[in-house]
Chain A
Amino acid sequence: MNEIIQSSLSLLWPELTLTVTFILTLFSQFALRKAPMHSGYVALAGFLLAFLLLGTQGGSDASVFGVMLAVDPFAVFFKYLIIISGILVLGFSLQSEEIRNNAEHAGEYFAFLTSMTLGMFLMAGASNLLMMYLSIELVSLSSYVLSGYLRNVERSNEAALKYVIFGAVSSGLMLYGISLIYGLTGALDIYSMRDVLATGAVMPGSWAFATLVAAVILIIGGFGYKISAVPFHYWTPDVYEGAPITITAYLSVASKAAGFAIMIRFFKVAFLNTVSADGAWEVLAGMNWELIIAVISVLTMTLGNLVALWQDNLKRMLAYSSIAHAGYMLMGLVVATDNGIAAIMVYFVMYLIMNLGAFYVVMVVAQKTGSEDIDDYRGLAYRAPWVAGAMAIFLVSLTGLPPTAGFIGKLWIFAAVLSKPGFVWLAIIGVINSVISLYYYARVFRNMYLRQGDEEKAQPILFGSRTIAGSLIFAVPTIVFGLYFGPILEWAKNSVTLFLR
């Protein structure tokens, strides 16, 4: 037993670091009563250390603590995405007025951010249904309280309440599905699940197969809630609008990434027979879940884009836009090939940059003008040229036009979809949706560049050099990765390996 613990822990340095950071950040607020925001620097140090220690996990392809947690290139890729967005969001939070106004509890804010990141790391590697449930709950609990962090603001309370109710119901549905799978296979880890299914104990066409389908649909309820897929997306607009904007940004990128990681791992490992030479998955007989996910993908893309059209609040519009982006990414899962998964991973890298950038601009503009309404962005190009220019780049990238990162992301997803016969209709729906999305992204662009605000709102806004540098940190890679994306593609292709026992 000792050897198992020692060998397992030696592969889990980042997780251990985050746990220690969580406790240190929590207690640092007692030492830092005069300057409570400085507990954010404690968290930042911990995150940077975890980022460096992720290097110790690179190259492993193993399972720790029995088969509880997998440490493989796939998990490491997503952990890099999560920790990088965590570090960036920590940077936002240290600049954010919403957090500074509630600074006495900043220690708790940064501690919950750390525990949320720890949960997401565990989600990325979880290979036992119990571990999946626990890690999802760790992330969810931290997110509930973080979205309600602004306790004096009504919409923040309301966001937290709706989030809790919806999250608890979804995890209840997921648990019922897990219990049915336990009944069918007698085990909780996905490797045993695959072994039992491979012996043919659950034949397609039998009632046991119908129970399996019911169980998988219920579990999709839990995963779908995490990635905001339709019809489990109801919490997203309210929570994104009511929560502090730093939390919205983090949820939209990192939480979604962790949700996708866990979903891909579940579907690939539990139902896989072999992987053929060109990367296509051969699933066990009869387990054609691709259709279910295709339907969810289409619904998600379409609903996200259509409802975004009549939003007036930019935060809410970005919420619906992120729902739509999850729909595009699900297309990569539908085709059930390694190329599709690599395409999702590339998309996530691009999505991280452009989405975090967009939220950063919304944050700084809201801090200076006090408004998040799209109408109040009129004339921004003349009032703050650098920031508006960055936002313009992000909008173009979110639509998916060249030469930006968003275009490359969509290109690879469509390439993966078209490389497998029979899914042309899915790609067509994706393109139509991108065209629809052009309208609402262009509305912001038009307001910034082609409209003038009223007199009192036409004064130039002076943004500090730190803010401008911050927006450039996101804007420049958005263009650069749109032109030079080779290394990212290589990294994604090399990280598709999942630990398969």
Chain B
Amino acid sequence: MELTDIIFYIFALVTIGSAMIVVFSRNLVYSAFSLMFTFLGVAGLYVLLLADFLAVTQLMIYVGGILVLMIFGVMLTHRVVNVEISSGAMRVIPATIVVGVFLGTLLLVLTRTKWMVMEGSPDVIGTTSMIGTALVTDYLLPFEVSGVVLLVAIVAAAFMARKR
């Protein structure tokens, strides 16, 4: 059992464990904080997959941006009177059906497929320059369009969240 395998199992456990807490916890703040651990776990997995740029971007955008936004949302929308921030009951039957059918099919199909994997292990090179070059050559149009998407999002969020 190599060291990288052990690290993989640790990060996988962190990710899945905290994801379970996010979904099944009764307390909204606990869910928000374990979401942070999910994001950290995924960032660690990116490093294992030699995607250094994305690992750092994951930390900056997801933990530093989206998670902070979620916590603001939780804090701004709970009733001030309640001390315990509860998030309601759950329905078990749809959950079991989804787990059974959907996950079962996916696992069966994904593990049996012979993917076109390349031989040997990839070189440990930085991906930042490759991604950067791709963004301004092959992917120039999506890059510009995502600029428009972000502008729309900023104006939309500001518009919706303002006081009357």
User: When A and B assemble into the complex, do they touch directly, with CB atoms less than 8 Å apart?
Assistant: yes
Chain A positions within 8 Å of B, measured between CB atoms, are 1, 5, 8, 19, 22, 26, 64-66, 68-69, 105, 108, 111-112, 115, 118, 122, 128, 130-131, 134-135, 137-138, 141-142, 144-145, 148, 151-152, 160, 180, 183-184, 186, 201, 206-208, 210-211, 214
Question: CB-CB < 8 A to A65: which residues of B?
Answer: 140-141
Is there contact, CB below 8 Å, between B114 and A208?
A: yes
Contact code string B120-163 (vs A, CB < 8 Å = 1, else 0): 00000000000000000111111001101100110110011000
Q: How far is the CA of A414 from the CA of B36 in the complex (A)?
A: 54
Is there contact, CB below 8 Å, between A214 and B106?
A: yes
Is there contact, CB below 8 Å, between B109 and A207?
A: yes
Q: Does more than half of chain A's interface fall in helix, strand or loop, or is it mixed?
A: helix
Question: CB-CB < 8 A to A207: which residues of B?
Answer: 109, 112-114
Q: Considering only CB atoms, which chain B residue lies closest to A66 in the complex?
A: B138
Is there contact, CB below 8 Å, between B159 and A105?
A: yes
Chain A's nearest CB lies how many Å from the CB of B74?
Answer: 16
Is there contact, CB below 8 Å, between A131 and B156?
A: no
Is there contact, CB below 8 Å, between A151 and B149?
A: no
Q: Considering only CB atoms, which chain B residue lies closest to A214 in the complex?
A: B109
Is there contact, CB below 8 Å, between B113 and A210?
A: yes
Is there contact, CB below 8 Å, between B152 and A115?
A: yes
Q: Considering only CB atoms, which chain A residue lies closest to B158 in the complex?
A: A108
B72 at the interface (CB under 8 A from A): no
Q: How far is the CA of A129 from the CA of B116 in the complex (A)?
A: 20
Contact A152 B164, CB 8 Å, known A26-B155, A210-B109 = yes
Residue in contact with B156 in the complex, picked from A112, A183, A201, A210, CB distance below 8 Å:
A112
Q: How far is the CA of A214 from the CA of B113 in the complex (A)?
A: 12
Q: How far is the CA of A141 from the CA of B116 in the complex (A)?
A: 36
Q: How far is the CA of A49 from the CA of B101 in the complex (A)?
A: 51
Residue in contact with A134 in the complex, picked from B137, B145, B159, CB distance below 8 Å:
B145
B110 at the interface (CB under 8 A from A): yes
B105 at the interface (CB under 8 A from A): yes
Q: How far is the CA of A19 from the CA of B146 in the complex (A)?
A: 12
Contact code string B88-120 (vs A, CB < 8 Å = 1, else 0): 000000000000000001100110111110000
Question: CB-CB < 8 A to B149: which residues of A?
Answer: 134, 137-138, 141
Question: CB-CB < 8 A to B153: which residues of A?
Answer: 141
Q: How far is the CA of A68 from the CA of B145 in the complex (A)?
A: 12
Question: Tally of A-B residue pairs with Cβ under 8 A?
Answer: 81
Closest 4 CB pairs of A and B: A145-B156, A207-B112, A65-B141, A207-B113
Is there contact, CB below 8 Å, between B156 and A134?
A: no
- Not counting A145-B160, A184-B116, A208-B113, a sample of 16 additional A-B residue pairs whose C-beta atoms are within 8 angstroms of each other reads A1-B137, A8-B141, A66-B138, A68-B141, A69-B141, A105-B159, A108-B159, A131-B145, A141-B156, A142-B156, A145-B159, A186-B116, A207-B109, A207-B112, A210-B112, A214-B105
Contact A211 B109, CB 8 Å, known A111-B155, A138-B148 = yes
Residue in contact with B155 in the complex, picked from A69, A108, A118, A130, CB distance below 8 Å:
A108
Chain B's nearest CB lies how many Å from the CB of A345?
Answer: 25
Question: CB-CB < 8 A to B138: which residues of A?
Answer: 66
Q: How far is the CA of A68 from the CA of B135 in the complex (A)?
A: 13
Question: CB-CB < 8 A to B109: which residues of A?
Answer: 207, 210-211, 214
Q: How far is the CA of A321 from the CA of B88 in the complex (A)?
A: 35
Question: CB-CB < 8 A to B159: which residues of A?
Answer: 105, 108, 145
Q: How far is the CA of A186 from the CA of B115 in the complex (A)?
A: 10
Q: How far is the CA of A111 from the CA of B153 in the complex (A)?
A: 12
Question: CB-CB < 8 A to B160: which residues of A?
Answer: 145, 148, 151, 160
Contact code string B54-86 (vs A, CB < 8 Å = 1, else 0): 000000000000000000000000000000000
Chain A's nearest CB lies how many Å from the CB of B42?
Answer: 14
Residue in contact with B139 in the complex, picked from A105, A118, A130, A184, CB distance below 8 Å:
A130
- Interface residues in B36-52 by Cβ distance below 8 A to A read none
Question: CB-CB < 8 A to A68: which residues of B?
Answer: 139, 141-142
Chain A's nearest CB lies how many Å from the CB of B135?
Answer: 12
Q: How far is the CA of A65 from the CA of B144 in the complex (A)?
A: 12
Q: Write 12 A-B pairs (CB below 8 A) sorted by A numbering.
A: A131-B141, A131-B142, A137-B149, A141-B152, A141-B156, A145-B156, A207-B109, A207-B112, A207-B114, A210-B109, A210-B113, A211-B113
Q: How far is the CA of A291 from the CA of B52 in the complex (A)?
A: 43
Question: CB-CB < 8 A to B155: which residues of A?
Answer: 26, 108, 111-112
Chain B's nearest CB lies how many Å from the CB of A205?
Answer: 12
Question: CB-CB < 8 A to B116: which residues of A?
Answer: 184, 186, 201
Q: Considering only CB atoms, which chain B residue lies closest to A217 in the complex?
A: B105
Is there contact, CB below 8 Å, between B139 and A144?
A: no
Q: How far is the CA of A8 from the CA of B144 in the complex (A)?
A: 14
Q: How far is the CA of A479 from the CA of B109 in the complex (A)?
A: 53
Question: CB-CB < 8 A to B112: which residues of A?
Answer: 207, 210
Q: Considering only CB atoms, which chain B residue lies closest to A142 in the complex?
A: B152
Contact A134 B106, CB 8 Å, known A68-B141, A111-B155, A201-B116 = no
Chain A's nearest CB lies how many Å from the CB of B132?
Answer: 14
Chain A's nearest CB lies how many Å from the CB of B145?
Answer: 5
Is there contact, CB below 8 Å, between B139 and A138?
A: no
Residue in contact with A211 in the complex, picked from B110, B140, B148, B164, CB distance below 8 Å:
B110
Chain B's nearest CB lies how many Å from the CB of A59?
Answer: 22
Q: How far is the CA of A210 from the CA of B108 in the complex (A)?
A: 10
